[in-house]
Amino acid sequence: MTDLETRATPPGSATLRRAAPALLGYAAVRALGLLALVLWGAARDKSAYTLLTARWDALWYTRVAERGYGYEVRLPNGDVHSDLAFFPLLPWLERLLHAVTPLSYADAGFLVSLLASLAAAWGVFAVADRVYGRRAGVCAVLVWAALPVGIVQSMAYSESLFTALAAWSLYAVLTGRWVTAGALAALAGLTRPVGLAVVAAVWAAGVASLVRDRRAPGGDVRAGRGAGAAAARVAPQVLGMLLAPLGAAGYVLWVGHRTGRGPLGYLHVQAGWRNGFDGGYAFARFVADKFTSFPSALAGAGLIAGVALLLWLYVVCVRRRQPLPLLVYTGTVLALALCASSYFGSKPRLLLPAFPLLLPLAQALAPPRTSRSALVVGCLAAASAVYGAWWLNGSGPP
């Protein structure tokens, strides 16, 4: 459980040609979801494009891209919603695209999300292919595309961008590209607060690798033998580990300076949105309240079943000895999503980057029974398309 042993894959396993079936399948699943959204929106006289680019968090990102930070909304109950809660990488990319193309900020956000979702799908494939083989990689991408909240992958939100950076950072760790892993982790830390999960994965893998090298025969460089070679081998790992936290730490410290509250300034900003980490107490109360009436009790039972499924999948990942960085990353994403006191309707999309949880399902679909796997994925894709269209046409934000 604590090593980086992975399945041997042929050279070029992360090439576009090798990933092409996964990416084509991903595009087909997401196209079905967008078609369902367009048809549902047309029936309700709503613009699907507006739902994807100009509502909820997408508006906050667009405002930051257009005007910079400094906007806040004061609610009657005293809460203060500040745009400082939104990490800067997506608005920076929106601003860059707007500057070099005729696209509006909203259009730029949609294009970034579209390209990032493809990069994320490719990264999910690369990781799954590296660990379990090509068929499992294709299945992992298709299942990730067909998640009930998969429509978020097509929205001008930061989930797709973050998942792309996280997946490729994890792949870089698995293949020993430490500097690349650290740089991508730093960018992930500029995208969402859960960037801490990528940092934790890089650090856990780095420490494990250093300890393993130290304990290996001839690994004690204090004897003066091979000290130069050992230093050359260790230097990229250390550099990658130092780079990894710079993005998240830099933004959090900047917010602290901007608010005048020091290192805890970002926590104060999140508190204004009623976001915090309470170990899951608020979420547990939210679920318990569902059982005070019927039929809301059915929703409560569904939430309990969903959480149980997530925890069971994580246990399966542990028992199947997924590489350490994947386990650390997934565990951190789960903890931050389930134990936060944030808006409960957003928890499903906060779990979207936890793609290693899907690897056991991908393994189950991977054996060469194409018709059965195609039927399962097709049913998942259809259900996801209908649910996504219903979800975005609702009143609350995803």
Peptide bond preceding 245 in cis form (omega within 30 of 0): no
In the prediction, which pLDDT does 394 show?
A: 83
User: CB burial class (10 A; 0-12, 13-18, 19+) of residue 69?
Assistant: middle
Return the DSSP state at 88: S
Q: In this predicted model, what pLDDT tens digit does every residue of 160-193 receive, in sequence order?
A: 999 999 999 999 999 999 999 999 999 999 999 9
Q: Tens digits of per-residue pLDDT, 259-299?
A: 999 989 999 999 999 898 888 888 899 899 989 888 889 98
> CB of 116 within 8 A of CB of 161?
yes
The model's confidence at residue 124, banded by pLDDT at 50, 70 and 90, is very high
First to last CA, the chain: 35
Coil, strand, or helix at residue 346? helix
Is residue 374 predicted with pLDDT exceeding 50? Answer: yes
Average pLDDT for residues 110-128, to the nearest whole number? 97
> Residue 135 corresponds to which tokens in the numbers above?
């068929």
The residue-averaged pLDDT of 136-156 equals 96
Distance CA 131, CA 341 (A): 34
Q: Whole-structure pTM over 0.85, yes or no?
A: yes
- How many whole angstroms from its chain centre is CA 132? 20
Res 230 pLDDT > 70: no
SS3 assignment, position 246? helix
Considering only CA atoms, which of 31, 98, 56, 84 is closest in space to residue 384? 31
Given a cut of 90, whether residue 231 has pLDDT beyond it is no
Q: What is the pLDDT of residues 9-41, one digit of tens each?
A: 454 457 889 999 999 999 999 999 999 999 999
